[in-house]
Amino acid sequence: MGYFLEHLRKCGQTWRSMTLVDIDTFLVDCSHRYARTTTADIAGSIRSFARFLIATGRSRRNLADSVIAPVQPKYERPRRALPWEDVQRLLHAVSRSNPCGLRDYAILLMMSTYGFGAGEVIGLRLDDINWSAATFRVIRPKTGTAFTLPLLPAVARALALYLRDGRPPHATTRYLFLQCKLPFAPLTCASAVRHIVVKHATVAGLTATYLGSHVLRHSNASRQIDLGADPQVVSDILGHRDPDSISAYIRIATESLRDVSLPVPS
């Protein structure tokens, strides 16, 4: 709000005398300097400030309902995915010669194989793995829905090596993936997973600017659709409740899109 109040001062106004024109002028200026989402957040802050003035009796003019934020079309920007070759480079860049490497490789392999986000990975517990049935249970953090997936051989080997040589043997927690330093607590936030992705992407020489904790999830979806999987099935496996989310994954399946593209007129 500091920038907004400074804007009012330059216009010879204060929060007591500000008008809707002053607010609109400020937001138009913000739209020239910031991303649309940032400008929308600023508009929301000003709207909340205007409601605060009304609620506390500091103002009798209700400007809040007239503050207009930029329109943000849903799925305007495709979700960002790495080419599958880069996913393989990322996995190959992980050194499995130490406990942290064994943990990181198992995490990244599960994320790229099953399309997990950070929430699914850090929520896994030792009791979720059924070694005799070659399955494991995962819970979607947003919905709380639990379902069972096959424990693929490559993933089983990576987990077995981590449990044997990487996971602290005397840890009391039942969570699967732990920090590599004392007190060996569970990984608890997406930023920890993002750090793992960025760390090994740097080693692999990947220069993408969108290396967040969901990039392997989106890469998996793109890969499955390119290989011919039904987009609806992919969306269901990834745990989406919104049917419109399918279109977001179709947009990043670049190989499939090339098949249906029309020639550019000469």
pLDDT digit string (tens) for 21-40? 999 999 999 888 887 888 88
Q: Report the distance separating Cα 255 and Cα 98, nearest Å.
A: 37
Give Dmax over CA atoms of the chain in angstroms.
Answer: 74
Q: Report the distance separating Cα 172 and Cα 187, nearest Å.
A: 14
Contacts of 175 (CB under 8 A, 6+ apart): 122, 123, 124, 125, 126, 186, 187
- Provide the pairing of β-strand 135-139 with 146-150: antiparallel
Q: Residue 262: its pLDDT value, please?
A: 40
Which residues, given as ranges, of the chain have pLDDT below 70? 72-79, 231-266
What is the residue whose two structure tokens read 């804007």? 7
Q: Of 117, 104, 82, 68, whose CA–CA distance to 211 is shortest?
A: 82
Q: Of 77, 69, 92, 65, whose CA–CA distance to 200 is shortest?
A: 92
Could you count the other beta carbons within 10 Å of the beta carbon of residue 229?
16
Q: Of 38, 37, 49, 35, whose CA–CA distance to 4 is shortest?
A: 49
Peptide bond into 183 cis (omega under 30): yes
Could you count the other beta carbons within 10 Å of the beta carbon of residue 256?
17
Could you count the other beta carbons within 10 Å of the beta carbon of residue 231?
18
- Provide the pairing of β-strand 135-139 with 129-130: antiparallel
Contact 225, 256 (CB under 8 A): yes
Q: Residue 261: its pLDDT value, please?
A: 40
Q: Residue 260: its pLDDT value, please?
A: 37
Taking the complete model, does pTM exceed 0.85, yes or no?
Answer: no
Q: Residue 77: its pLDDT value, please?
A: 53
Q: Report the distance separating Cα 61 and Cα 239, nearest Å.
A: 45
Name the 3-class secondary structure at 125.
strand
